[in-house]
Amino acid sequence: MNAALIGLQWAEYLSQDEKFEKVTLNSERDLADFDLIIWNPIGLPTDFSADHSRNLSVSSYQNLKKSLKKHFQELSEFFHSGKTLVILLPPPSEFAFAEEHAFDKKTMPVTDLLPLNQGEKVSTVASTGTNITVRTNSDAIKIFSDFMKTHMQYKAYFAEVIGEPFMFSNANKPLASLLKRDEGRILFLPHIILDKINLLAFVNQIKKLTTELNSESKDKTEIQLSNWASNFLLPNESETVNKIIELEKKNEELIINIGKEKALLNSIISKKYLFAGGTGDALVDQVMLVFKEMGIPAVNGPEGRDDLILELGGRPAVVEIKGKKKSAAEEDAAQLEKWVSGYYEKNKVEPKGILIINAFKDLPLSERNDPAFPNQMIDYATRKQQCLITTTQLLQLSLLANSEPKKGKLIIESLLKTVGVYDSFSTECQNLFSTSIVVS
């Protein structure tokens, strides 16, 4: 089953897999080609704006209408094939547009752009929360919702009921709904607390839900008995029903446990991004996760400046993180020093500067024979009291902290004391890792 991901954060991470594809609605991509579409519509207008704002010119608005008309025609075929469109319910959000004259601006809610039938309308009320109640007769939705609701954070509820609501807030406000479309459906869901780890679990759960909903639809059309038939029980009918209930309960528990193990596996696998191709924001997020797992408070730095701010035993640390095809360079250390100086100017506290490099990111570990930090940059970094460490060393520190939690304080002290190249785990040695999966 191949899925289109529209407007989703971390979609680039999954689109490396041929089963997932990041799609924008200002492209010519045929939506009917996909088996599943997951769409966060909140940023739709910005895809058509020349400056990525929510202010559309006459031509931009015309392009939006033309593109949506094309894609909504594709959705007709998509729904006829029994497929599912998932829409993450957006909070109220408007954009400005001009139909004929640039000076004649109007506004429109983003929800007016959704693919709804005549007479249908979605309007939302801003509201946030995580306590979600599930009420539905669909076993498929119950299993999906029980698994996913711990990852959900609603940002809005329906102002008016549309379709068949099945998730509700504590105040009984509808948060999710199912709209039937031909043989397929539109599934409105609350937002997901997404990162690149649980996005994969979420997409896989949606795939399973779609399969089960299609199966339920077929089951309903196979046998149509009169309502009063349930008053009569044939031999072994009651025992079979009870056995099915018991097995379904075990199956639900099994599905939930499998889901938890898959989420754990995804979390483990994602750590490979530290040394296998990791770069950009995704690498920064993975490094932050590793620090947090070691018990080190970490937050993102200001936009466009330092990547992370840490608290190391009461002292702040400014962190610059790079994924590079070659080694680190003096300019990386200079960039870090700029962030260190900026932090001091703002807070009047001298932070520790830490440069974390995924050097030679596309090479296997066994082929990384050159130093990650060449000699010509070490003198500068040493004068600036910087700690230079690779992502592979950081991963090994994380593994050590997980196996021996008492060493967490020593790890913090070692990062603070290091001036120049961090000397623990100094080789890019892959013998710490298994080279194949062992199946018992």
Is the domain of 210 the same as that of 242? no
Same domain, 179 and 294: no
Confirm whether 137 is domain-assigned. Answer: yes
Query: Dihedral of CA 16/20/23/29: which sign?
Result: positive
What six digits make up the tokens of 180?
Answer: 């039937």
Residue 281 sits in the same domain as residue 419: yes
Q: Is 361 helix (H, G, I), strand (E, B) or coil?
A: coil
pLDDT at 361 over 90: no
Note if the pTM is more than 0.75.
no
Of 75, 55, 62, 80, residue with least CA distance to 26: 62
Which range marks the domain in which residue 258 is found?
237-273
Tokens 């397929």 -> residue: 184
Tell me how many domains the chain contains.
3
> Per-residue confidence at 439, pLDDT binned at 50, 70, 90?
very low
> Cβ neighbours of residue 80 under 8 Å, at least 6 residues apart?
182, 183, 184
Residue 229 lies in a domain: no
pLDDT confidence bin for 426, thresholds 50/70/90: low
Q: Which of 24-28, 39-43, 372-376, 426-430 shows the lowest mean pLDDT across its residues? A: 426-430
Same structural domain, 349 and 297: yes
- DSSP structural state of residue 359: T
Structural domain includes residue 182:
yes
26 and 144, same domain (yes or no): yes
Distance (Å) of CA 237 to CA 138, 240, 243 = 21, 5, 10
State the CATH number of the domain containing residue 382. Answer: 3.40.91.50
Three-class secondary structure of residue 157 per DSSP: strand
Rounded to whole angstroms, what are the CA distances from 157 to 179, 192, 194?
A: 16, 14, 19
Structural domain contains residue 419: yes
- Can you tell me the distance from the alpha carbon of 262 to that of 270, in angstroms, rounded to the nearest whole number? 12
- pLDDT of residue 7 exceeding 80: yes
Read off the pLDDT band of 311 (50, 70, 90).
confident
d(CA 157, CA 76): 26
CA 344, CA 335: separation in Å to the nearest integer?
15
Give the residue with greater pLDDT, 363 vs 217: 363
Q: For the chain, first and last CA: distance in Å? A: 28
Residues 264, 284 within the same domain: no
Please check whether residue 437 lies inside any domain of the structure: no
Q: Does 225 map to a domain?
A: no
Give yes or no: residues 283 and 301 share one domain: yes
192 and 266 together in one domain: no
How big is the chain, counted in residues?
Answer: 440
CB 153 within 8 A of CB 193: yes
In a domain, 340, yes or no: yes
Question: What CATH number corresponds to the domain at position 101?
Answer: 3.40.50
Spatial neighbors of 78 by CB under 8 A, at least 6 apart, are 31, 32, 34, 37, 85, 184
Q: d(Cα 363, Cα 373) in Å, to the nearest integer?
A: 16
Percent over 70 (pLDDT), the chain: 87
Residue 375 within any structural domain of the chain = yes
pLDDT of residue 333: 92
Contact status, residue 127 vs residue 154, Cβ threshold 8 Å: yes
Residues 62 and 97 in one domain: yes
Same structural domain for residues 289 and 254? no
267 plus 172 within the same structural domain: no
- Strands 387-390 and 352-358 come out as parallel
Does one domain contain both 64 and 166? yes
> How far is Cα 423 from Cα 330, in angstroms, rounded to an integer?
19
